[in-house]
Amino acid sequence: MAKVHISNVKVLDNPAQFLNPFQFEITFQCDSDLTEDLEWKIIYVGSAESEDFDQTLDSVLVGPVSAGTHMFVFQADPPDPTTIPAGDALGVTVVLITCSFRNQEFVRVGYYVNNEYLDPEMKETPPMQPQWDQVTRNILASNPRVTRFNIDWEENSENNENKPPPSDIPNQSQQHGNMAAGMMANPVLGKVEGLAALTWFKCRQ
């Protein structure tokens, strides 16, 4: 049984300019004390055609985590526009929030993202080269897709990070690709490390 459950995610600063940071307020419940860190990531899917264009915008380690309810704001820089294919600059894509324990991903939350020009002329006749400072990003916050994976939570097991995944669970690359591809096929519109802007605190009762 999972020891950590995401109870709420709020998308902050949305809609926003494409070049603005991503901001998510994440609330999660921990059923028992964890002596090791949780690793959180924000991943931007640059193209539906290939995972080669996926960008990990940031990753943070949070822990040790005590039993109870916790909340933090996860902020990450926008994707590097120079690595996004011009044909995928506008339209619908996906942003993923993932969480792992002892190198095992156990949950991911996916959101559709629509990138478009607000200027009517640019929307009617987009420039050959994307003008990123004119692009608006709109995350479909009301319709997240949550996927959970079974992992080994026992902290006394050795070399867990070197164990292959169970045969009935695809590896992380397959998990990532399958979820992103599935979403794109049906588009609809205390220690903290790795991010100075991250705030983390235990919710007061």
* 158/203: higher pLDDT: 158
Taking CA atoms, 71 is separated from 8, 22, 127, 185, 203, in Å, by 9, 17, 41, 32, 6
Could you give the 3-state DSSP secondary structure of residue 86?
A: helix
Q: What percent of the chain has pLDDT over 90?
A: 68
- Asked whether residue 189 carries a pLDDT value surpassing 50, the answer given is no
Q: Do the Cβ atoms of 176 and 145 come closer than 8 Å?
A: no
Asked whether residue 205 is domain-assigned, the answer is no
Domain that residue 143 falls in: 4-197
pLDDT tens track for 86-125: 889 999 999 999 999 999 999 999 999 999 999 999 999 9
Strand ranges across the sheet with 199-202: 4-12, 22-30, 68-76, 199-202
Which CATH number covers residue 142?
Answer: 2.60.40.1490
Taking CA atoms, 95 is separated from 14, 29, 54, 174, in Å, by 13, 23, 10, 16
Asked whether residue 130 is domain-assigned, the answer is yes
Asked whether residue 188 is domain-assigned, the answer is yes
What is the count of structural domains for the chain? 1
pLDDT tens track for 58-82: 999 998 899 999 999 999 999 999 9
Asked whether residue 204 is domain-assigned, the answer is no
CA nearest to 45, candidates 100, 107, 112: 112
Give pTM, 2 decimals.
0.79
- Please, which residues bridge with residue 4 across strands? 30
Average of per-residue pLDDT values in the chain = 82
pLDDT tens track for 21-53: 999 999 999 999 998 999 999 999 999 888 999
Asked whether residue 141 is domain-assigned, the answer is yes
Asked whether residue 114 is domain-assigned, the answer is yes
Asked whether residue 63 is domain-assigned, the answer is yes
* 204/194: higher pLDDT: 194
DSSP tag of 124: H
Asked whether residue 202 is domain-assigned, the answer is no
